[in-house]
Amino acid sequence: MTNVTRNEKSSKIKAPIVDALKKAYENPSYQFHIPGHTKGCGVLPDFKKLIGAKALSVDTTDEFDGLGTLHPATGPIKEAQELAAKAFGAKKTFFLLNGSTAGNLALAMGLTKKGQKIITNRNCHRSILTGMIISGAEPLWLIPKRFGDWGIWGNVTPESVEEMLDKNPDAGMVWITNPTYEGVVSDIKSISEICKNHNVPLIVDEAHACLWNFNSHLPTSALKLGADAVVHSLHKTGGSMSQSSMLHIAENSMIDVDAVEKSLKLLHTTSPSLILLASLDSARANLESPRGRKQLERAVQNAKYLRREIDKLTHIHDLKPDFGYKTDITKVFIKDDRLSGKRLEFILEKDFNIEVESASDAGLLILSNIGNTRKDMEYLVKCLQQIDKSDYNDISYLENKKYMPMLTPIIKMTLREAFYSHKEVIPKEHAVGRISAEVIAECPPGISVLLPGELITEEHIPYLIDYDTIEVIK
Ligand SMILES: Cc1ncc(COP(=O)(O)O)c(C=O)c1O
């Protein structure tokens, strides 16, 4: 249970979509429109029992009951987007219903062109690459630092961005993921200054950082550091429902906002879920409220407590800020120097009923969330103390597969050319030496092992344990 007082008046903060939906619920009409389940009367009773009659009765799409429309934004939806822009420090905010994936796709479709070079980090999310497959733009890979001991990618250095821009004066854009999935933060301020000096826009994929503008212990959002556009997965850590995200355009952005908006309209459903839109509106209102701020401060303090306790252990360690990079304190990446990350995840799940965000080769990721209590954290600490004292062994079948690709790609064809080439499916054993025709990027974290147009080498095989066959260029 939460420590935050229940009778705090979060109602002072405006949430226009939530209010409009409440009004529609309290003034029901005779409904002869989509969705056909008509306020839950046409669904399986077990499903209704599971999710609740009220949730179904507010499951509607835009256009009805004065709820406004998403494209173009009108009514309460427009007002909610404007409130979000203010809260996150943007000039304009778009609500997204297919996650930050939709934002990245729209940015690529709207802002990049066939053959144009886009500088981006190799460990970017696959949605950025999908966007470039659609537009025909070609990535120029920045290879971030590798944190070998931790089995993860590290930060992107400003020097590497500058070098790439100097070598490629025709590059059209820089697109950086910050922070990494594991919370490693790059120096966006310096990167943005470099981009400005070269007169190219900077997009920052902040899918994992929507909380940063709401607590002074967290890093600064790229919206304040000179980026032109930023995506935030509110559903990941901000408290909204799955699939709901935001795309922000910065105050002094140099990008073509109309082109991005047109692409969003093409990519989005024509039946946006009001429940998801209301959840974005309410997540923003909550984060701005005293209640939400306390929840976030508690998440920060819980993370500090967890890290302090881990420091007392013998075998288990946490990734800390180091020379040249910072971390988001709420993302606690840990490893046990006797066990693989997957084995540690397995132990926590099977022996202690704990589910963590993800595990990779060396370690695993724990999120200290706005919804976690101190009791949750104390239980986790107790379990880690127990594991640290026990003599758990690694299990070899978990060791056969590798999870976090840290390979430098060998590019044989452009993404788009390969994606639209003639292909064939072959047994994995025959794949070395062939050119991949598919995106192989398991989620989480959706970082690519192989992309269309890349040479398949022996090094890829440990990442492909779950594949019997693979699609290659014919
Ligand atoms: C860095 C990054 N960008 C974008 C995305 C896509 O976000 P969404 O799941 O909201 O579509 C993810 C998802 O994991 C991600 O890790």
| C-alpha 129 to ligand 1 mean position (Å) | 12
Going from the Cα of 441 to the center of ligand 1, the distance in angstroms, rounded, reads 12
Closest CA to 446 of 414, 411, 405: 405
Widest distance between CA atoms in the chain = 65
Q: Out of 101, 268, 443, give the residue to mutate to test ligand 1, the one with the largest number of ligand atoms within 8 Å of its CB.
A: 101
Residue with tokens 């127990």: 386
Q: Would you state the pLDDT for residue 268?
A: 94
Q: Which of 96, 105, 127, 206 to mutate to test the pocket of ligand 1 (most atoms within 8 A of CB)?
A: 127
- pLDDT, tens digit only, all 474 positions of the chain: 344 444 444 457 999 999 999 999 999 888 888 999 999 999 999 999 999 999 999 998 877 768 899 999 999 999 999 999 999 999 999 999 999 999 999 999 999 999 999 999 999 999 999 999 999 999 999 999 888 889 899 999 999 999 999 999 999 999 999 999 999 999 999 999 999 999 999 999 999 999 999 999 999 999 999 999 999 999 999 999 999 999 999 999 999 999 999 999 999 999 999 999 999 999 999 999 999 999 999 999 999 999 999 999 999 999 998 877 899 999 999 999 999 999 999 999 999 999 999 998 899 999 999 999 999 999 999 999 999 999 998 776 666 678 888 888 899 999 999 999 999 999 999 999 999 999 888 777 778 899 999 999 999 998 898 899 999 999
Instruction: Please report, for the chain, the start and end positions of each structural domain, with discontinuous segments joined by +.
Output: 75-277, 296-399, 415-473
The confidence score (pLDDT) of residue 321 equals 86
Q: How far, in Å, is the centroid of ligand 1 from the Cα of 231?
A: 9
Q: Are 280 and 80 in contact (CB under 8 A)?
A: yes
Atom of ligand 1 nearest to the CA of 104: 4
User: What separation in Å is there between the alpha carbon of 396 and the centre of ligand 1?
Assistant: 31
Task: Please state, in angstroms and rounded to a whole number, the distance separating the CA atoms of residues 450 and 467.
Answer: 13
Measured by CA distance, the residue closest to atom 9 of ligand 1 is: 99
- When the candidates are 3.30.420.40, 3.40.250.10, 3.40.640.10, 1.10.10.60, the CATH number that belongs to 75-277 is 3.40.640.10
191 CA distance to ligand 1 middle (Å)? 21
Residue 319 makes CB contacts below 8 A (sequence gap 6+) with: 147, 150, 152, 182, 183, 184, 327, 332, 333, 334, 363
d(CA 73, ligand 1 centre) in Å: 24
Single pTM value for the model: 0.93
Residue with CA closest to ligand 1 atom 14: 445
Pairing of strands 117-121, 173-177: parallel
pLDDT at 3: 43
pLDDT at 400 (0 to 100):
67
Q: Which of 94, 96, 125 to mutate to test the pocket of ligand 1 (most atoms within 8 A of CB)?
A: 125
Residue identifier of the C-alpha nearest atom 7 of ligand 1? 100
> Residue 133 has what pLDDT?
93
* Residues at CB less than 6 angstroms from ligand 1: 99-101, 104, 125, 127, 177, 181, 205, 207, 233, 245, 444-446
Q: 360, 152 in Cβ contact below 8 A? A: yes
Closest atom, ligand 1, to C-alpha of 180: 1
Q: Which ligand 1 atom is the nearest neighbour of the CA of 444?
A: 14
Between the CA of 338 and the centroid of ligand 1 the distance, in Å, is 31
CA–centroid distance, residue 248 to ligand 1 (Å): 15
Of 68, 2, 206, 224, nearest to 124 by C-alpha is 206
Whole-number Å distance, alpha carbon 127 to ligand 1 midpoint, is 7
CATH class held by domain 415-473: alpha beta
DSSP reduced 3-state for 388 = helix
Q: What is the pLDDT of residue 404?
A: 80
**Ligand 1 atom at shortest distance from the alpha carbon of 235:** 10
For the chain, count helices (H), then strands (E): 15, 17
- What is the whole-number distance in angstroms between the Cα of residue 314 and the centre of ligand 1? 34
Name beta bridge partners: 120: 141, 175
Ligand 1 mean position to 70 CA, how many Å? 22
Asked whether the beta carbons of 470 and 423 are under 8 A apart, the reply is: no
Are the CB atoms for 437 and 375 separated by under 8 Å?
no
Would you state the pLDDT for residue 398?
62
Best residue among 94, 95, 100 to mutate for probing ligand 1's pocket (most ligand atoms within 8 Å of CB) is 100
**Domain spanning 296-399: which superfamily?**
Aspartate Aminotransferase, domain 1 (3.90.1150.10)
